[in-house]
Structure 1
Amino acid sequence: MKRILSTTRGRVAAAAAAITAVLLLAYGMPALALAGEVPPGTDAGGVDISGLSPEAARARLEEEFGRPGPLKVEAAGRTVTMKPKDLGVTLDAGATVARAMDGHTTPAGIARSLFGTRTVPPAVEVDDDLLDRRIAALARKVDRRPREGAIAYRGLEPQVTLPTAGRVLDRKEAARAIREAFLARRDEVTLPVRTTPPSVPAAKVREIAASTARAAVAGPLTLTAGDERASLSRDQLASRLRFVPDGHGGMRPAFDASTLVDDLRDDLVAEERRPRDAAFRIANGRPQVVPSRAGRDIDPDGLAKAVTSALASGERVVEVPVVQAQPDLTTAKAKRLGVREKVGSYTTQHPCCAPRVTNIHRIADIVDGHLVMPGQTFSLNGLVGRRDRARGFVEAPMIMNGRFVNDVGGGVSQFATTMFNAVFFGGFEDVQHTPHQYYISRYPAGRESTVSFPQPDFRWRNDSRYGVLIKTSYTDTSITVDFWSTKRWDIESESSGRYNVKGFRKMKDSGPDCLPMEGVQGFAIDVWRIFKKGGKVVRKQRFHTVYQPEPRLTCTART
């Protein structure tokens, strides 16, 4: 019995040994065969790397993922073409191969290699900072804020500007799409763009225009300041009123009061209560400061808020905020301006009593006492505006299109010429002056300027660190412009002889508006402004002027 058991055990052990040997052989031979190679049936991002050595597998991956070349990135019609590495996206071929070979010699790996396939996701390195910067640069070209709707007025009629949607690049999804395009080895990718709606829909804008905006200008507003009253007409209201989004899906009135205060001040704030700027007067041949005064004035921002609040609530009476106000030019500031001596002066002559003299005197009165601050550019048209009968200007001859014609304000070029010479000898910067087309004998040749409205203008800049006080005076036969400031230069003038002289032609005209012209030769001339300090020449400035021949025009009576 014992022998039988012993024999049986021997046979079992022999069989187990045989099975083990078979298994070891079945595992060992494939393991030995697969050692050092990428397993069969291995795919990495669509690239077959089966049976390759690690080095060959890396080379194939780098070749395949580099084959598509630059990536065309498009968003909302904007396109950039860049290499993936310049977008911060690169393939780690070594890590990808390592993934493919991980566990391939285990029994499970051997079985999968012998009887199945394996797909390995490529190992991608992403420089998030670089990719974010590239996407942000594209977003700056793509993103567009919604254009909000608005309501303004043409006359008294509300005019609607309809809103339009905006757009924004979805940056997070854009980064994902670029990575996916790289993995799929595509050569182009379209990035997602979201639409951003305006805060107020178009239908709502139209509704407010037809109701609230129309009601806002249905009648005038009554403005009060204590016991004082004024009226804001429908036209005044409409020209300064808009409706804009209120941030809560509706629209609110927005009123611009910045240009309205000057119109209302006389009605709502007594003159003796208003601030008064410091000024200058000439006494005993020297400038003296007339002290400033604090006072009460309309607050533009407060007025705008009061009007918009009234319109929003449907009120037609507005309490205007009047606040304590300081003058723009205080006594202390005026004293620091250095207005202490005459630095430039010029006088021109004219015959007495012609209509043009009225215009010369009128423009002189407007300019008299004007203060030009350091660095400021003075514009004659900007200060005086259009010459009209309402302010005392009359018709007088002027040059227009090469002929003398009568026009309101004619003759004021003599004032411009006089001021130009005060600028010249005061040493200030000439910004814009336009010589007359024809030479006029009462002016110094090459040192004169015409002016009309709106152009040509006469402009000069106070390029000093001192204020310049302009004082004007006149007689029946002369006009004088004086500049008071702090003297910087001694100015001299030199002129060339007249050259390129041209004769004039003779003409006749029987028209009812004909004004005769005496005929003057044309010529060119150069004038130098010489800047001196301490008797030494510092610099010279050349003014080149060309005058056209003035025809001799004879006006003949119609037959």
Structure 2
Amino acid sequence: MLERFPRRLVVPSAIALVVVLLLGLVAVRALMVAGKVPGGTRVAGIDIGGLAPRAAEARLARELADDAERPIAVTAAGHRFTISPAEAGLALDAPATVAAAGGGAPSPADLLRPWIGARTVEPRVKADAAKLSAAVEGIAKEVDRPLREGGIRYAGLRPVAVAPRPGNEIDRAAAQRAIKEAFLDPRPQVTVSPRPTAPTVSAERVRQIAQTTAKAAVARPFLLTGPGGRKATVPPADIARGLRFVADGRGSLRPQFDATAVARAADKRFVPAAQAPRDATYTVKKGRLQLVSARTGQGVDAAALGQAITGALASGGSRTVPVRVVTTPPRITDAQVRALGIKEKISTYTTQHPCCAPRVTNIQTIARIVDGHIVRPGEIFSLNGLVGRRDRARGFVPAPMILNGRYVNDVGGGVSQFATTMFNAVFFGGLQDVQHTPHSFYISRYPAGRESTVSYPQPDFRWRNDSPHGVLIKTAYTSTSISVTFWSTKRYDIESQSSGRYAVRGFETTTDSGPKCIPMPGAEGFKIDVWRIFKKDGRVVRRQKFHTVYLPEPKLTCEETPGR
């Protein structure tokens, strides 16, 4: 009779046997898949199971080559763009993808893959952060609409409200993620929705401040006080010139005053000429340039003055502001001026005038201020910015100027002849005209269509040094002439051509009386075109047209007032 084993011993033995068999199968499986991608592994639909890592990488690179080069279509705010993966710095990272798929040492799940089923692995992507960012910025440049906060600027003494405007902008990080995720798709398409951005200041608030605070800000002058009891006045026009109201981040506007021009003018009141800084420049002796070395000096602290005036405007407090005089370096050092390429005369122009009238004093005074000034490459020269308000303290005197179609006496009258002379030096020097305003009437001592008026603060005369070299301004005068000469490195030969006068209009004859009446000779009005012709090595490289309209100048006779 056979001996029977107890049931409680048979079951554990069977389980143990199954475990041993499974372990054996796993061990055999481990030997089979060692060093290979687990079977049943797919990447973007490509089966790489059972391949050695290098072979799997090669298959992925080969099979996904077309997808890796396929342009990505991006739609943003109705605009359509096509991005090249290579230009965006996107590429398949085959080694990282195979490693993520288990190519190499198998995991427990990989050993059991035949019993638990296949798996899909997402391809790993390499991205050049700088290139991807540049690709998104290219889209943003076309799609983004910059937010504009409301603000206030000035036209003369009149506050001008700048209305706020909402904007929108692309979420750069989200766009980069979406483009990266679309890479290697059979039909890579991305939609980017710009985010709206809202101004912090309402249009109504801007209008309120323009009608109240901004008007009050330029209603009265500031008094500057400095060392030795010296004083200077900042008139409302100069306040308006440097003042803006900008968003304060709390739903309103705050004043912001740029004191650069005011400080430059104040230097002449608070700093003796012998103590002022001096820029390196050149003087001309016997037709040759000689260096005049720079020096450190004293000057009004423009930043501190700007903060003080801004604070006074914000608080509505006292309009008496102390100025601080500090050590001030020169604008241009010796080494800098030597590196500017100033080596030859590039243009010169002279205009004539009768001797000894008050206007001649003003012409010569402004010439002395400008003489020796150097304009750096890319810099815009502003005649008003350099000279400032014409005043008696610096030697300017009353002389006739044109205002509202009549001659009137004003301090600094006549300096438009200097502006005209400089305009022609700019013209024949091949430099960029930025702002010039012809006289309303034609004045016979100037070349028709090649002249400019100037007043303070407007109209200004401005030009840009659009050359890669510095431009030295030298002035010279006699009792009957004023000359402006530019020294730099010559780029062009300039010629001037003019049309005939056309659309000619006759002038009226009228009379007036009173102590302020200044006779006017009368002149026809007309239109004229002038071309500036740029030549290089005898070949025309550019033509620029200047169109000028002159109004008829009335012939005004001043009658003596009865009883005088």
TM (norm. structure 2) is 0.48
Look at both structures and tell me which one has the larger radius of gyration over its CA atoms.
1
TM (norm. structure 1) is 0.48
